[in-house]
Structure 1
């Protein structure tokens, strides 16, 4: 395992960021937030994203190049590609990136070995500093393979405040876990004030204004939760 102290990085860094997940935006916005901070600290850094998100226009706005993989959701709905074919396609597209781009740092969000195990070769044989962004999930959704696969990484970052979530770590491996708190796309000075938000949406001071965020991960209970919240608000 490498450490940030033991690893010697060149002056011009190459950072590969893997943002492939479901239909939500969290995986992409977290890594984009990290990419922005890297670029701010080291302007000469070369960034490259691998993503399947349909919101890749966010990367275009930041002038960050990316490789777009077929969306798992769209592929499954269209029945164009079987699960096995998708896995072979992902591996065929992802593996050459390590040889061609030769990243000094790899940052992966949520999918510890890739959506279709397509990161395994890069994790096993890639000569780079590997960082895993471990967003918490329901504890019953974990399996031992995905927990133990974190041993391939040099650093695990939890985008939560310390001990507010359960983050299972691999047994028998001394992998550092860093609690980063919420990783937000915008910084505090960029956020709108309360007054500006009301002005933008033409909402009077006496009117109730709420933000209900249920994520974008396709949770089947979201609609029921929304109805429950709206019922409580109306009462």
Structure 2
């Protein structure tokens, strides 16, 4: 994006086509096919093809397993203009409501501290009425398990496109992701959009043999580990990203809590119950 203002429709379309071209050129099928075609274009390469092709396949396999970083985009979009202060929160749809509750709690406290801060939700969680009721702009992308007949690559491409449009539109200074596993589409969007601060809120620590891609951790500037009722063991993976350990992130402040007698009466629990 240049300094003259937001992108026009044709410019957005061109950017989307560039991202699609980047995805195609970095797909496993294209890279394998390109390697074979180049061998036929230069016949001397056919002699080493039985050896070079397995090497290429091994490299792609390591990328798919998250053991090696994937190729980066060749065009990082610098965002300018937009609100003076904006943050995009991305809670995933986990087993329960933990990811969403933490980001909802964070959004409420950020608004208390800075009423002029624009707080935007982008989430796979279907509980959209909660942020809507608070007046937070909210974008919803149904999780991959909700998309029948759609494979992971197609869903991640859609995730990348939607998140890229959100980031281009709101131009946040901060992006906060709360989830156990970063989506590839999200990582690809962050690879093309230059957000100054990228934060990963992760309740657990990183274990050896983790399935998290090696390039996913380094894509963030800060990893926040909120406390829990049960202490967590120290991280077993050296990643070099700054970490911050904080107390449990609660949805409501102590002064907002009901008194014990009121809570028992509202819940129909006897006052003398233990």
- Length-normalised TM-score, structure 2: 0.62
Aligned to 1:83: 152
Structure 1 residue 118, shift from structure 2 partner: 2.4
Say if 1:207 and 1:141 are closer, same or farther in 2 by CA, change over 3 A.
Answer: farther
- Cα deviations by residue, 1:175-232 (Å, 9 ceiling, x for unpaired): 2211111101111111122111111122222335xxxxxxxxxxxxxxxxxxxxxxxx
Gaps of 5+ in 1: 1-9, 209-235
Structure 1 residue 123, shift from structure 2 partner: 4.7
Query: Residues 168-207 of structure 1 correspond to what in structure 2 (within 5 A)?
Result: 168=235, 171=238, 173=240, 175-207=241-273
Say if 1:195 and 1:172 are closer, same or farther in 2 by CA, change over 3 A.
Answer: closer
Aligned to 1:127: 195
Structure 1 residue 127, shift from structure 2 partner: 3.3
Task: Measure the CA separation in 2 of the matches of 1:30 and 1:110.
Answer: 10
- Length-normalised TM-score, structure 1: 0.71
Gaps of 5+ in 2: 1-81
Answer whether contact 1:124 1:152 (CA < 8 A) is retained: no
Structure 1 residue 72, shift from structure 2 partner: 3.0
Task: Measure the CA separation in 1 of the matches of 2:129 and 2:90.
Answer: 16
Partner residue of 1:159 out of 211, 222, 226? 226
Aligned to 1:44: 116
After superposition, the CA RMSD in angstroms is 2.8
Is 1:74–2:140 an aligned residue pair?
no
Q: Whose helix fraction is larger, Structure 1's or Structure 2's? A: 2
How many equivalent residue pairs? 193
Structure 1 residue 165, shift from structure 2 partner: 0.9
Is 1:22–2:89 an aligned residue pair?
no
Task: Measure the CA separation in 2 of the matches of 1:167 and 1:117.
Answer: 29
Say if 1:57 and 1:39 are closer, same or farther in 2 by CA, change over 3 A.
Answer: same
Task: Measure the CA separation in 1 of the matches of 2:144 and 2:234.
Answer: 26
Answer whether contact 1:123 1:153 (CA < 8 A) is retained: no
Structure 1 residue 140, shift from structure 2 partner: 7.1
- Cα deviations by residue, 1:150-169 (Å, 9 ceiling, x for unpaired): 222221110116x9213537
Is 1:100–2:166 an aligned residue pair?
no
Task: Measure the CA separation in 2 of the matches of 1:154 and 1:122.
Answer: 12
Answer whether contact 2:86 2:118 (CA < 8 A) is retained: yes
Higher relative contact order, structure no. (Cα contacts within 8 Å, ≥ 6 residues apart): 1
Q: Please tell me whether Structure 1 or Structure 2 has the larger radius of gyration of its CA atoms.
A: 2
Aligned to 2:128: 56
Task: Measure the CA separation in 2 of the matches of 1:11 and 1:144.
Answer: 33
Structure 1 residue 129, shift from structure 2 partner: 0.9
| Structure 1, 118-127 or 193-202: larger mean CA deviation | 118-127
